[in-house]
Amino acid sequence: MVLAERFAAHGLKCTILEKRPHIGGNAWDCADRNGVLYHPYGPHYFRTNSRAVREYLSRFTDWQHVDYRIKSWTHGRYWSFPVNLETFEQLIAKPATEYEFKAWLAAKRVPIEHPQNSEEVILSQTGHEFYEMFFRGYTMKHWHRHPRELDPSVTARIPIRTTRDDHYLREEFQALPSLGYNHLFEQMLASSPNIEVKLGVDFQDARNHFEARHTIYTGPVDAYFDFRHGRLPWRSLRFEMESFTPDRLVERESIAGKKHHWQPAMQVNYPNDHDYTRIVEIKHATQQPSDCTNIVREYSQDDAPGREPYYPIPAPDARAMYEKYKLLAAVEPGVSFVGRLATYHYYNMDQVTAMALHEFDRLTAPGGPFAGLASHR
Ligand SMILES: Cc1cc2nc3c(=O)[nH]c(=O)nc-3n(C[C@H](O)[C@H](O)[C@H](O)COP(=O)(O)OP(=O)(O)OC[C@H]3O[C@@H](n4cnc5c(N)ncnc54)[C@H](O)[C@@H]3O)c2cc1C
């Protein structure tokens, strides 16, 4: 969509083919039957350190700043999470100082100088206790692989802090589009009459019926090449949304600690209980004024025909297969492979936006197929 907006703004006709019945991919949001916004494809917490990305998207939306906070549920209670001094105090059931927590961690840490996998990352930082409480079960449920089989990056993303700082994310700009993502996407599309959107169209069916000077491909790279080197493995997800009217929230309010809410934080992880990995109540973040709310339970599942691919598997075997497709993509004439599915890499929204802006610059640079079109800046 970013590339369509950029090229359309410079006078070129762009057609977006989307197999789903809506625009915006996984970041799309909508309202439930009570008018409460939710994220049907899992929570999308926008954050970025990139001024260029923020300025570009701010052309299409205002922002509502959000302090993203989450909790973890295990051993029959909610825990402060990511691990911080308060989590430690909950564990030892008494107040503690940062110094005491650091000393405890130093005694518990497994001495691993260069962690080689996701298990070693956590063991080397916190030892076995927190690893078992918060990480092992969640990682197994989410990836269906043991943390030992996964790259260090999977658990390295989650901070361990000895202060009381329980912020989930670190980026300097953390906000949601004031009127939601769908509104932001609609503003992008409305910015030029040169963009046409065709919903419910699968690129694989349509590819031989379309003439295009250039194709921006955002689908799975293995499908583009007819699975020539085999099927890339993905984790898929299933989402279950439940809406609540005020009468159904009365008994939840003491748990949520807030009127008209269902749970005590925007996101609660379930590393060891239930089949779902997390429950998200995005109203904590949107702060939508409503006496209703909704939650989305998220279940991780294997990839299978008919299921959406969500997460590329961050493991050496999967990466090796992707490398073969990457070579094919690099020499495919007239096609840019952009985004998570096409590059077999998990990216956040700001990273995908930056990737698209960069691709626009590349295509319009001297010597590129669209040399002469102005830069996006
Ligand atoms: C559960 C989950 C949570 C996330 N949380 C966050 C978050 O908190 N913060 C954040 O910044 N990012 C988050 N992301 C990442 C975010 O979704 C992506 O960065 C963003 O959607 C942009 O990705 P994309 O354009 O590469 O892919 P998508 O948004 O998936 O877009 C690709 C589009 O191509 C379509 N498509 C695929 N194949 C075909 C085909 N053959 N024909 C036609 N259309 C096709 C798909 O239907 C889809 O609409 C999350 C992702 C997931 C899955």
194-204 tens-digit pLDDT: 999 999 999 99
Residue 237 CA, closest ligand 1 atom number: 1
Q: What CA–CA distance (Å, rounded) separates 299 from 272? A: 13
pLDDT at 375 over 70: no
Instruction: Quote the ligand 1 centre to 25 CA distance (angstroms).
Output: 5
Show Cβ contacts of residue 261 under 8 Å, excluding neighbours closer than 6 positions.
249, 252, 253, 281, 283, 284, 293
Closest Cα to atom 25 of ligand 1: 339
73-99 tens-digit pLDDT: 999 999 999 999 999 999 999 999 999
Closest Cα to atom 10 of ligand 1: 348
Q: What CA–CA distance (Å, rounded) separates 177 from 310? A: 23
**Tokens linked to 173:** 């700009």
- Residue 204 in contact with ligand 1 by CB distance below 6 A: yes
Q: Can you tell me the mean pLDDT for 111-133?
A: 94
- Residue 90 in contact with ligand 1 by CB distance below 6 A: no
236-295 tens-digit pLDDT: 999 999 999 999 999 999 999 999 999 999 999 999 999 999 999 999 999 999 999 999
pTM of the full predicted structure?
0.94
**Tokens linked to 57:** 């998207």
**Three-class HEC string of 348-371:** CHHHHHHHHHHHHHHHHCCCCCCC
pLDDT at position 52 is 97
Q: Can you tell me the mean pLDDT for 143-171?
A: 91
pLDDT at 157 over 90: no
Closest Cα to atom 37 of ligand 1: 219
- Residue 240 in contact with ligand 1 by CB distance below 6 A: no
- Please choose, from the candidates 207, 196, 281, 209, the residue with its C-alpha nearest in 3D space to the C-alpha of residue 243: 281
Centre a 10 Å sphere on the Cβ of residue 296 and count the other Cβ atoms it contains: 22
24-81 tens-digit pLDDT: 999 999 999 999 999 999 999 999 999 999 999 999 999 999 989 999 999 999 999 9
Count of CA atoms in the C-beta half-sphere (13 A) of 359? 24
Confidence category of residue 377, pLDDT binned at 50, 70, 90:
very low
Q: What CA–CA distance (Å, rounded) separates 43 from 47? A: 12
Residue with tokens 């977006």: 16
pLDDT at position 376 is 47
Structural domains of the chain, with CATH: 2-31+46-58+179-233+313-364 (3.40.50.720), 83-156 (no CATH)
pLDDT at position 154 is 84
Q: What CA–CA distance (Å, rounded) separates 226 from 221? A: 9
- Residue 238 in contact with ligand 1 by CB distance below 6 A: no
